[in-house]
């Protein structure tokens, strides 16, 4: 029985990264909503949402800006997490199958 992975297998490293980023994003955004006075929590939420969180620079200091900023941060984390999940769930390129001059284990068994 062959244990070789098919060329269209998914990338487990990207799945782990996407899972960690998604959980961290939920924690940071909910933490910023629960404790808005925390400077460190807000900085982590802003840094994790880059580059989309740079949109915070366009907000003026009017009433309700905190709610708008929180929505912008949640959206930036969601976009980044969506991109990571897209990378994680996208199948590997079928054109990339390694070096064609090196025989595979299946080709070695048929000789």
The CA-atom distances, in angstroms, between 47 and each of 6, 58, 80, 104, 105 are 37, 16, 12, 44, 46
Residue 93 corresponds to which tokens in the numbers above?
């390129």
Collapsing DSSP states into helix, strand and coil, what is residue 77?
helix
Q: What average pLDDT does range 3-16 have in this prediction?
A: 67
- pLDDT score, position 30: 87
Rounded to the nearest 5°, which phi and psi values hold at 36? -70, -15
pLDDT tens digit string along 52-109? 888 888 888 888 887 888 888 888 999 999 998 898 888 776 655 555 555 566 555 6
Q: What average pLDDT does range 22-49 have in this prediction?
A: 84
Residue 84 corresponds to which tokens in the numbers above?
């990571």
| Distance between CA atoms of residues 6 and 10, nearest Å | 9
């Amino acid at each position: 029985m062959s244990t070789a992975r098919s060329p269209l297998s998914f990338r487990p490293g990207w799945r782990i990264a996407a899972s960690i980023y998604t959980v961290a994003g939920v924690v940071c955004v909910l933490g910023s909503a629960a404790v808005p006075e925390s400077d460190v929590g807000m900085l982590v939420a802003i840094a994790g949402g880059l580059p989309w969180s740079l949109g915070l620079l366009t907000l003026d200091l009017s009433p309700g800006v905190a709610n708008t900023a929180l929505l912008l941060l949640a959206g930036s984390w969601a976009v980044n997490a969506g991109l990571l999940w897209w990378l994680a769930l996208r199948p590997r390129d079928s054109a990339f199958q390694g070096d064609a001059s090196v025989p595979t284990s299946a080709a070695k068994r048929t000789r």
